[in-house]
A and B are shown apart, each in its own frame.
Chain A
Amino acid sequence: MEYLPNIIFAIILIAGVGYFARNINKLIRNIKLGHKVDANDNTAERWKNVVNIALGQSKMVKRPVSGFLHVIVYVGFIIINIEVLEIIIDGVFGTHRIGLSILPESVYGFLIDAFEILALLVLVSVIVFWIRRNVIKIRRFISSDLKGWPKSDGNIILYFEVVLMVLFLVMNATDTPFQNLEAGNVISQFIAPWFEGFSSETLYTIERAAWWLHIVGILVFLNYLYFSKHLHILLAFPNVYYGKVVPKGQFNNLDAVTAEVKLMIDPDADPYAAPPETAEDEVPAKFGASDVMDLSQVQLLNAYTCTECGRCTSECPANLTGKKLSPRKIMMDTRDRLEEVGKNIDANNGVFKDDGKQLLGDYITNEELWACTTCNACVEACPVSIDPLSIIMDMRRYLVMEQSAAPMELNNMMTNIENNGAPWPYNQMDRLNWKDE
């Protein structure tokens, strides 16, 4: 019976990490539904982006208030997690504060001091975040694309952080031998007096309870990630790595179209030639995207990475002037549809069964897609290198090339280009008339 706590701890730990791993596998499978992209180029610049944008948070601090607070929570999160390592070792081996028996007391004290200060700073930042969402009601946190679950999700994460930080501080405050060290308790020494007069047994029970709740809370939080917008704490890094490294104005040229164009202009091409043998099993390439499977793996990773902060939407000229388009909603819709497809695959023994739905129409409307000015403000604003514009463009391509569903004025414009090489109905031979006018 002596080892019961260790066994229980190990079971909880394995269950928590196991369930998380299972969901991460699912996430990877879902992302792989998209088509592959070659990202073996510009390796140096990609790593530079990871260091600056993801690790260095260079785009977060473009908005100083939220950026600064976010850096505190981010640094706090990473550094306080060192403490989790000790908790896990203690839990598995039944030790208590193993760090103290490995490290000199001064070093251990310094570390825990740092964790406690960060915990307090995180607590303060998270409270300010909550106030921004719920009291000040900053526009991007209350706009219509964030109604319902996404809105509560944002708050739940903040409550999680508060609970975890409080448990950490209480755990230290009620650990009498630790308090007696007079090192490492820079914050918790002020909490300890709240428990004065408690018997040592009660204190021990509170300390143990806080310890257990803290580690269980962390595991619950870990598993909450997959179901929330908070996956960015993991996915921001690969997402930034795979982010766009060519000029923002440059849109990809569709290879499938290039092949057809080459065939059309090649005077030696035989229009009756049989398609090459290798193409037999391949589904003919669809032009553009109408569902998540038509998007690229990077675009799907983008969708899982989005933390719904709304900086993109708050910079979008269409959204600022009251149009329906919200780049954030494009990302949220893409993820929602991808999750739906993933659940469909789970329910049908690993194969997707047509559900009569798709991203275009059932989630994203034509009206939203046609409101985009392709100005790249959303791409510039995203702190983790998400590219909502590329999804909008791929869906426009589907509308135009597969459905001929462009607005009428655009069809006229395109007919003009086709006929006379200009978007207006002017004669090609008049192209130089301006010089004599």
Chain B
Amino acid sequence: MTTTIRLQREAFDVAAETARMTRGRTDVGAVVTFTGLCRAEDNGEPIAALTLEHYPSMAEAEIARHVEEARARWPLLGVTVIHRFGRIVPGEIIVLVATVSSHREAAFAAASFLMDYLKTRAPFWKQVEKATGPAWVDAEATDNAAAERWSVPPPRRHEAAK
């Protein structure tokens, strides 16, 4: 399996990233991409931009742990996670999760799992620029609930195959 994890300030091209995952391969039947974008509002208030702060060494380690977990749960051929940090304006990409597998079920499930964990476990914090000044974004209870649904692990595929 090919894994790419990048934390970067710069914008990136989603099509180029997914093309790189499938180039020269004939065993790939499914590519699922989730792209998270910056919206122009937060809780109904307009924002000019957001700034993502992160804990670099832990973010890389935490994402790598969850990619390993996804790989143990589903038969994946590739995973790419790219998360930006720094100042991001509405319309720009914040995060990409792309999963590649022979069949769609694994690719869909793994992408959803990785996004839910990125939201609640990866050490990133959003601060938005409102008319009243900068404000830290509060964690969403719905994000925690979304991550919780993965906490009862299904049989690992290596065990299930026995």
A and B interact: no
Which residues of A are in contact with B by a Cβ distance under 8 Å?
none
Which residues of B are in contact with A by a Cβ distance under 8 Å?
none
